[in-house]
Amino acid sequence: MDAFKAYVITKDEDAKKPNPAEWRDITLDELSPGDTVVRVTHSTVNYKDGLAFAGNPGVLRKFPMVPGIDVIGEVVSCESDRFQPGDQIIMNGFGVGEVHTGAYAKYARLKSEWLIKRPDGLSPEHAAAIGTAGYTAMLCVMALERYGLTPEKGPVAVSGAAGGVGSVAVSILAKLGYEVIASTGRQSEADFLKNLGASEVIDRAELSEPGRPFGKESWAGAIDVAGSHTLANLLARTKYGGAVASCGLAQGMDLPATVMPFILRGVALLGVDSVMAPLERREEAYRRLAEDLEMSKLDALSSTIKISEVPEKAADILKGKVRGRLIVDYSEL
């Protein structure tokens, strides 16, 4: 196979931070080992991708690295019997773009056990728009459902609602009949969030500042991408027997809370991991996304960029300047 284009992040031996990503030619031999070669047709830009381009050591743990945690594409070759050339696949997580070369290249070499077939009826553009953020949102909804949450039990709060996870979560919950309380630091996005299905939009400051250990019962469940004070306040205001699905740490990895919501209201904290989730759960999540996410709303919360624009958008996502989801189109390669 001839050389092809890729973003590559390197790090000098004695340097504290990696070098900025370079757009350069590489060969298949420079990719991490794997039994399946995929021609990447689409990807997206997640918060974790932004951290990778910023050189965050908690994300980038091996060099040189091709970043990009979401792969949507077509199988070129597969040494196992799981896939055939031409199969359309989706890949999220498993350390790809962190310790295993990832999506921001014309080709990716991956392990077949990490891949799922793209569901019928889900276009590659929609699969990219969903990406890890949207797939994580669905995992959060599924976790709340397994705990017993139903629309009749009360509203669901969503933090970071204008971001990737939050905007998809708002759309899914509204489609399922939940009253959704969307929290955002960008009040200019209130109409956008209400069009996605939010019943109420509250200012992020209501949750992100230090609060009381126990508050008024305001929602039956919540999906949180922030951690820190936001998660503590969501727990403190969750109704008796409710639950909060936690999937992120955009505000911080600390949890300045007390046990009071747990022992006085029986509130549950549900941890949601998208990176190492088993294939069966991934396949269920994408099946549910195809059914429970209105594609017209996904279109409304998505925009398309060229792969050459990825570094700029990766920086923007860390600054909170990206609304919804970004589809990365590889057609220029």
Dihedral pair phi/psi, residue 114, rounded to 5°: -90, -10
pLDDT on residue 333: 86
Dihedral pair phi/psi, residue 252, rounded to 5°: 165, 160
Q: What is the SS3 assignment for 58? A: coil
Q: What is the SS3 assignment for 254? A: coil
Tokens representing 215? 């508050």
Burial 42-80 (b: 16+ CB within 10 A, else e): bbbbbbbbbbbbbbeeebbeeeebbbbbbbbbbbbebee
Please say whether the beta carbons of 315 and 309 come within 8 A.
no
pLDDT on residue 261: 98
Please say whether the beta carbons of 44 and 329 come within 8 A.
no
Torsion of CA 246, 249, 253, 254, to 10 degrees: -60
Find residue 222's DSSP bridge partners.
157, 244
Alpha-carbon span 279 to 5, nearest angstrom: 30
pLDDT on residue 135: 95
Among 114, 125, 30, 34, smallest CA distance to 330 is for 125
Q: Give the helix, strand, coil percentages of the chain, each rounded to 5.
A: 35, 25, 40
pLDDT on residue 93: 94
pLDDT on residue 58: 86
Q: Structure pTM?
A: 0.92
Domain architecture of the chain: domains with CATH:
4-118+301-329 (3.90.180.10), 133-271 (3.40.50.720)
pLDDT along the chain (333 residues), means of 10: 94 92 97 98 96 92 96 98 97 96 98 96 96 96 98 98 95 98 94 97 96 94 98 98 97 96 98 95 96 94 96 95 94 88
**What DSSP designation does 207 have?**
H
